[in-house]
Amino acid sequence: MKNQQIVLNERPVGIPQPMHFSATSNEIDLSPGEGQIAIKNLYLSIDPAMRGWVSLEENYLPPVEIGEVMRSIAVGEVIQSNHPNFVKGDCVYGMFGWQEYCVVDVATPMLRKVNPNIAPVSTALGALGPNGLTAYLALHEIGQIKSGDTVLISTAAGGVGSIAGQIAKLMGCTCIGLTGSDEKVALCLEEFGYDHAINYKTCNNLEDKIRELAPQGINVFFDNTSGHIADSVYPALALNARVIQVGTAAIDNWETSPSGPRRDRYVLTKRLTIAGFVILDYIAKFPETLAQLAHLFQEGKLNYKESITDGLENAPMALTNLYEGLNKGKQLIRIC
């Protein structure tokens, strides 16, 4: 069987562009070995973390090699099974890569079945998958959110941010979102339940605006961006605030060691706690958290938004556009 793939062609400096990837194909034998299943991918995920995955900078996973299929989580359909727990037609989630087909061992980390009766299966890549898990676990495990906290979320309308805002609201927090367009400000307010949302691109003085909206200070900063956006938040943090470093989307390139205002004085005088969140550290908590997210969804308490682009060949461009902030909600590729 011919299998269309997108491989890493060249290592980007900064934001990955379509030229850094190549469309190619290989011949794949779809007969699974013992304990394996063959999968046809349905949806691929486009994630901010991918920039880190294609870089040689130190990271929580080894870099994707040149010539290797681009790493990606995906949702697919089992087309052949050689394991008793899986049958043809099952919907599965896992690290299947930017390609049409794959054959994987069922013991592959993170592989799990997706129940199509709870929500559209694409949500397993977003609200009821890594984005929901990240939002929920980061807010609880590191953010220690509690009712009455004022929570500020950057990339507020994105795949993770949009869920984080809703979960913080459900916990009784006041939520402020930072996002990059008026259209996304409206989404934050109308779809995702934020109390306030700011277009950081058109705001004259972001620091003052945040102070105005949170006169008592920000208790929890869910930081998806780092960079100048975060620089405007630190002075407005409250005593004992928690900063969750979930991503660094506003920094194009860490290889040149970007500079910014030192924060150590805030850390000391405000007794901040800053900690990094990587979802892979919390695998043991996935089942109960996914059940909790599904429950919220079924009760109608969790909105989500997807940007779906058709065609495997469009995955690299969708990734580039993600860093431009052109997506609204979770960016996906649908394989037709």
Instruction: Candidates 18, 35, 52, 63: give the one binding its own copies (CB under 8 A).
Output: 52
98 or 234: whose CB is closer to its own copies? 234
Taking the C-alpha atoms of residue 200 and residue 36, their distance in angstroms, rounded to an integer, is 48
Using rule CB under 8 A, residue 282 touches its own copies? no
Using rule CB under 8 A, residue 251 touches its own copies? yes
Closest approach of its own copies to the CB of residue 325, in Å = 19
Q: What is the DSSP letter of 276?
A: E
Using rule CB under 8 A, residue 13 touches its own copies? no
Beta-carbon contacts of residue 42 (< 8 Å; ≥ 6 apart): 74, 75, 76, 77, 91, 121, 122, 334, 335
The C-alpha angle 156, 324, 195, rounded to 5 degrees, equals 15
Give the binding range for its own copies (CB under 8 A) out of 36-44, 187-195, 248-256, 306-314: 248-256
Closest approach of its own copies to the CB of residue 268, in Å = 4
The DSSP code sequence of 83-118 is STT--TT-EEEE---SBSEEEEETTSTT-EE--TTT
Q: Scan residues 196-225 and list those touching its own copies (CB under 8 A).
A: 223
Closest approach of its own copies to the CB of residue 223, in Å = 7
Using rule CB under 8 A, residue 262 touches its own copies? yes
Using rule CB under 8 A, residue 286 touches its own copies? no
Beta-carbon contacts of residue 133 (< 8 Å; ≥ 6 apart): 279, 282, 286, 289, 290, 293
Using rule CB under 8 A, residue 281 touches its own copies? yes
205 contacts 231 by C-beta, under 8 angstroms = no
Strands 112-113, 196-199: pairing kind: unpaired
* Binding positions for its own copies, rule: CB under 8 A: 52, 57-60, 223, 226-227, 230, 245-248, 251, 254, 257-262, 264-265, 267-278, 281
